Amino acid sequence: MMKEETKVWSAEGLIDSHAHYFDSRFGGEGDHSADEILSREVFGAGIAAAVNVATNPENALACIRQAQVYSGLYAAVGIHPEDCKALGDADEEIERIRVLADTPEKRKKNKIIAIGEIGLDYYWEPYDKARQAEFFEKQMLLAKELGLPVIIHDREAHGDCFETVLRHPDVTGVFHSFSGSAEMARELCRRGWYISFSGVLTFRNARKVREVAQVVPSDRILVETDCPYLSPEPFRGRLNHSGRMVFTAAALAEARGTDYQTVVSQTSENACVLFGLPDKV
Ligand code: NI
């Protein structure tokens, strides 16, 4: 009987535009610890760089501390629309983010390359639209002030997210794990935005995301894990890490009718341009 040939893709050179290595699911002992995974499965497997994305002022500190340990790990700091629920006054909370990144020296020392993740989430009820909008709006202004790109979380809030970014033409960045329409993706790209694809692209029911993957120009595509969440097939539901992004990159190549290595070089080059990473990370 013929054995079906299994393709082996190399993680070499890939850049993960969105990861959460401070998440408590990486807090386990041995195999599941963030340090073990980062040294063995991520940088040990050839991943060139990863952006460690904070979701509130507290985990922003953990996120920076980890980035300072690994040369390929960078930090994004910001307040997620879900996290703003449990926080205090918006100006005070955002000030805690601003002080981490308000001088070039601090940005360099803390390895901060973006404001994120910020945005709107109308999926998890109950949500407070006005409060989410206040945090989003004020962090867009912060990004403009600091001259940093943003990482946008948009869940079930496409219209309001699009409308908000249109009001801030001086700020661009990436829509992470994009779930909007192909039409919205096209419009964002025309305005200088990037679209990032996660493991969702490998799911059987991801027809809409595959459509998006077909229309986004090659200088606008990024790949990500959103780890520990959104593991691609065949690891769906399990602990995710940047090494598993090979399956996402392969799905992106297939959807775009191009080869795997082309997707690796395009997405990594785009990540370097957007986040101002050194050419040879
Ligand atoms: Ni995330």
Superfamily name with CATH number, domain 3-275: Metal-dependent hydrolases (3.20.20.140)
Position 30 scores a pLDDT of 62
Q: What is the DSSP letter of 257?
A: T
What pLDDT score does 278 carry? 83
Instruction: Please tell me the predicted confidence (pLDDT) of residue 2.
Output: 45
Cα 226 to averaged position of ligand 1 atoms, centre (Å): 5
Which pLDDT belongs to residue 24? 92
- At 279 the pLDDT is 64
pLDDT of the residue at 181: 97
Q: If you measure from the C-alpha of residue 4 to the centroid of ligand 1, how many angstroms do you get, rounded to a whole number? A: 35
Cβ proximity of 178 and 222 under 8 Å: no
Task: Give the distance (Å) from ligand 1 centre to CA of residue 232.
Answer: 15
- Calculate how far, in angstroms, residue 53's C-alpha sits from the geometric centre of ligand 1: 7
Q: Compute, in angstroms, the gap from residue 116 CA to the centroid of ligand 1.
A: 9
**3-state class (DSSP) for residue 121:** strand
Could you tell me the residue ranges of all domains in the chain?
3-275
Ligand 1 centroid to residue 225 C-alpha, Å: 8
Kindly give the distance from the C-alpha atom of residue 1 to the centroid of ligand 1, in angstroms, as a whole number. 44
Whether the bond into 126 is cis, omega within 30 of 0: yes
How far CA 97 is from CA of 4, 116, 135, in Å, comes to 51, 10, 12
Provide the pLDDT for residue 280: 54
Q: To 10 degrees, the CA torsion angle through 52, 109, 101, 55? A: 20
CA 203–ligand 1 middle distance (angstroms): 18
pLDDT below 70 — which residues of the chain? 1-7, 28-31, 279-281
Q: Quick one: pLDDT at residue 1?
A: 44
Axis-axis angle for helices 182-190, 158-166 (nearest 10): 10
3-state secondary structure (DSSP) of residue 17:
strand
Say what the pLDDT of residue 35 is. 93
What is the pLDDT, as a whole number, of residue 6? 54
Q: Do the beta carbons of residue 232 and residue 202 sit within 8 Å?
A: yes
